[in-house]
């Protein structure tokens, strides 16, 4: 299976994230990509599709902010990584604020996702990797794997968060629609709910979004991913959330996956985008499922039975030493 990755995705390396009341070492480290590359071998570099497929999903003001944010942070006399400390919640969003701290709040949802001098390039090329994997599938390959780093599924149309800046899966799904696929399904099997992807397609009936994830009553991102979220307007019913408890093992996981796959079959898409996170792994340091390395073959095998052209996009997975083998097991199941 073709793997797409650009070396420019490596340099992005935020130092710290706000977690449990203090600044701790950032979990989304460059070694994640290095470990996957070591396990899988040669990657193809992505083709540059430009900004258009990115702004087809993301707000143009947000994209301009993301590209310039770290320079503006430095220009404000700051050091290190740019991160917000105040969020607008339900207050004024219409005031054209220009202060970097106001913009960081306006365009983010947490303090776990700092912007470094390399964030824009890494995010841009991660998105191009997803688009290039889509090209391979549109050209007739059954599946292709985009080693996206940073990941994407927490990023909404106009916000970053959860280590994510550009929503690679959403960008690929929209590009598939624009290339002529009438219906696209996104299956999110990262440990965390893909809130950004859900938000982007919330009121649409042409992109189905299904997610299996840690119950947001006790896990990040808390405010999305509850079982009663089904989409809105014409999108009502085109979102499916299957929250699962801490300690979930392969048997109940496969039962929930079967529900998601049945719903996707009923939706009858032309194309599948898989947001794959290996943070469902039993030894993941920030997550709480009990999926074992050998289980990933079975999970992938069940998904592959959909027999759909599939773009697999890398999301999370923070047990760095085991990440490459977990990804390799998952891909082998296809």
Active site amino acids = 154
Name the segment binding Zn ion (CB under 5 A); options: 55-63, 118-126, 127-135, 309-317. 309-317
Write each residue from 192 to 221 as x if it is in contact with Zn ion (CB under 5 A), else as -, in one continuous string.
Answer: x-----------------------------
CB of 107 to Zn ion, least distance (A): 21
CB of 275 to Zn ion, least distance (A): 9
* Pick 26 or 70: Cβ nearer Zn ion: 26
Contact status, residue 334 vs residue 312, Cβ threshold 8 Å: yes
Element (H, E) at 211: strand 207-214
Token readout for 165 is 């800046």
* Pick 119 or 280: Cβ nearer Zn ion: 280
What span, in angstroms and rounded, lies between the C-alpha atoms of 201 and 212?
17
Among 150, 216, 231, 316, contact with Zn ion (rule: CB under 5 A):
316
- Tell me if residue 102 falls in helix, strand or coil: helix
Contact status, residue 213 vs residue 291, Cβ threshold 8 Å: no
Contact status, residue 175 vs residue 219, Cβ threshold 8 Å: no
Among 84, 221, 277, 324, contact with Zn ion (rule: CB under 5 A):
277
What span, in angstroms and rounded, lies between the C-alpha atoms of 131 and 146?
8
Contact status, residue 122 vs residue 163, Cβ threshold 8 Å: no
Name the segment binding Zn ion (CB under 5 A); options: 64-72, 247-255, 271-279, 300-308. 271-279
State the maximum Cα–Cα separation within the chain, in Å, rounded to a whole number.
Answer: 55
* Pick 25 or 56: Cβ nearer Zn ion: 25
What span, in angstroms and rounded, lies between the C-alpha atoms of 27 and 160?
16
CB of 190 to Zn ion, least distance (A): 4
**How many CB atoms lie under 10 A from the CB of residue 98?**
8
* Pick 110 or 135: Cβ nearer Zn ion: 110
CB of 220 to Zn ion, least distance (A): 8
CB of 162 to Zn ion, least distance (A): 7
Name the segment binding Zn ion (CB under 5 A); options: 42-50, 136-144, 165-173, 310-318. 310-318
Does the CA dihedral 107-219-277-264 come out positive or negative? negative
Name the segment binding Zn ion (CB under 5 A); options: 47-55, 115-123, 174-182, 312-320. 312-320
Name the segment binding Zn ion (CB under 5 A); options: 82-90, 137-145, 277-285, 303-311. 277-285
Task: Tally the C-alpha atoms within 13 A of residue 62's C-alpha that lie toward its C-beta.
Answer: 21
* Pick 135 or 190: Cβ nearer Zn ion: 190
User: Does 281 interact with Zn ion (rule: CB under 5 A)?
Assistant: no
Write each residue from 173 to 192 as x if it is in contact with Zn ion (CB under 5 A), else as -, in one continuous string.
Answer: -----------------xxx
* Cis peptide, bond prior to residue 190, ω within 30 of zero: no
* Pick 93 or 217: Cβ nearer Zn ion: 217
* Pick 225 or 309: Cβ nearer Zn ion: 225
User: Does 279 interact with Zn ion (rule: CB under 5 A)?
Assistant: yes
Does the CA dihedral 250-255-260-264 come out positive or negative? positive
User: Does 150 interact with Zn ion (rule: CB under 5 A)?
Assistant: no
Does the CA dihedral 197-203-209-211 come out positive or negative? positive
Contact status, residue 254 vs residue 283, Cβ threshold 8 Å: no
Residue whose entry in the numeric block shows the structure tokens 């529900």: 259
Where does this chain bind Zn ion (CB under 5 A)?
190-192, 277, 279, 316
């Amino acid at each position: 299976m073709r793997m797409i990755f650009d070396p420019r995705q490596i340099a992005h390396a935020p130092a710290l994230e706000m977690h449990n009341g203090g600044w701790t070492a950032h979990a989304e480290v460059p070694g994640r990509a290095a470990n996957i590359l070591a396990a899988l071998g040669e990657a193809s570099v992505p083709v540059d599709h430009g900004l258009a497929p990115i702004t087809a999903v993301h707000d143009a003001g947000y994209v301009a902010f993301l590209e310039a944010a770290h320079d503006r942070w430095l220009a404000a006399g700051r050091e290190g990584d740019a991160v917000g400390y105040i969020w607008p919640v339900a207050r004024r969003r219409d005031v054209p604020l220009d202060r970097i701290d106001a913009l960081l709040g306006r365009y983010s949802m947490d303090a776990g996702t700092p912007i470094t001098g390399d964030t824009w390039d890494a995010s841009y090329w991660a998105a191009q990797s997803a688009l290039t994997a889509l090209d391979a599938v549109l050209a007739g390959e059954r599946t292709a794997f985009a080693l996206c780093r940073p990941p994407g599924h927490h990023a909404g149309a106009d916000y970053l968060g959860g280590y994510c800046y550009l929503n690679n899966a959403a960008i690929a799904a929209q590009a598939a629609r624009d290339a002529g696929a009438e219906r696209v399904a996104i299956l999110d099997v990262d440990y965390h709910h893909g809130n950004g992807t859900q938000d982007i397609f919330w009121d649409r009936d042409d992109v189905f979004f299904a997610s299996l994830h840690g119950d947001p009553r006790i896990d990040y991102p808390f405010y999305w991913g509850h079982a009663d979220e089904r989409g809105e307007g014409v999108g009502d019913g085109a979102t499916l959330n299957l929250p699962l408890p801490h300690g979930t093992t392969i048997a109940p996981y496969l039962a929930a996956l079967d529900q998601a796959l049945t719903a996707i079959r009923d939706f009858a898409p032309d194309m599948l985008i898989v947001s794959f996170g290996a943070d469902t792994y039993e030894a993941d340091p920030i997550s709480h499922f009990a999926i074992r390395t050998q289980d990933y073959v079975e999970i992938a095998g069940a998904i592959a039975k959909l027999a759909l052209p599939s773009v697999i996009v890398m999301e999370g997975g923070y047990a760095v030493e085991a990440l490459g083998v977990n990804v390799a097991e998952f891909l082998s199941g296809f």
